A and B are shown apart, each in its own frame.
Chain A
Amino acid sequence: EAQVTQNPRYLITVTGKKLTVTCSQNMNHEYMSWYRQDPGLGLRQIYYSMNVEVTDKGDVPEGYKVSRKEKRNFPLILESPSPNQTSLYFCASSLMGLNTDTQYFGPGTRLTVL
């Protein structure tokens, strides 16, 4: 089954404790992206990757890191989480960018930073 998986689905942590949210897709997609979703603000892009070793900032990259060492994986790293990073996070992938391809979203990771 074609899918985007994220782990963990739920995470409660404390300020400053480094964490990684994993994202994996099994569709051989080149493009992957991370979003955060907050009430009233909709989905905002954090980082995206056009292909292996090619990443770029989205609209709200501060406090986040990403890496793309393999095509299928695109982990999101919070080196020193803060309470304002409490949010619902979605990973997404599409075949080759956005213009003509369906973007598949993962199920989401709900992060709470105390």
Chain B
Amino acid sequence: QKEVEQDPGPLSVPEGAIVSLNCTYSNSAFQYFMWYRQYSRKGPELLMYTYSSGNKEDGRFTAQVDKSSKYISLFIRDSQPSDSATYLCAMTASSGSARQLTFGSGTQLTVLP
């Protein structure tokens, strides 16, 4: 069993839809949770960063962490064609100097105009 599971999609939605992307994990030591966005033929870029449980909002994006269920989500409101990309969740355990990220396999999202 992988440490981090992510539905690979592909996911296709109309412009303006609310998108929900999810990851589950098995390692209860994970404390830091990230979402990366990767456009085609590009490197990943950090989109959202959350520590421990709770919600974090940044414009149209909301990251949610439920540590009791070992489940994290990224919500995109009013989705745009420019949001079309692969979204990767990533996480790492709490430590003085975390050295490794564990990534999900990525969900490919297409927002249709």
Which residues of A does B touch, CB under 8 Å? 4, 31, 35, 40-45, 48, 50, 56, 58-59, 90, 92, 96-99, 102-108
Contact = CB atoms under 8 A, between A and B. Distances in A.
Contacts of A40: 8, 105
Q: Interface residues of B: mostly helix, strand, loop or mixed?
A: loop
B92 A106 contact: no
Given A56-B99, A99-B32, A99-B98, A41 B105 contact: yes
A44 B100 CA distance: 10
Given A48-B99, A97-B97, A98-B100, 9 more contacts: A41-B105, A42-B104, A42-B105, A43-B103, A90-B43, A90-B44, A97-B98, A98-B32, A107-B43
Interface of B: 4, 6, 8, 32, 41-46, 49, 88, 90, 92, 94-95, 97-101, 103-106
B101 A103 contact: yes
A88 to B, nearest CB: 10
30 contacts: A35-B103, A40-B8, A41-B105, A42-B4, A42-B88, A42-B103, A42-B104, A43-B44, A43-B101, A45-B101, A48-B99, A48-B100, A50-B99, A56-B99, A59-B100, A96-B97, A97-B97, A98-B92, A98-B99, A98-B101, A99-B95, A99-B97, A99-B98, A102-B46, A103-B46, A105-B44, A106-B43, A107-B42, A107-B43, A108-B41
Contacts of A108: 41-43
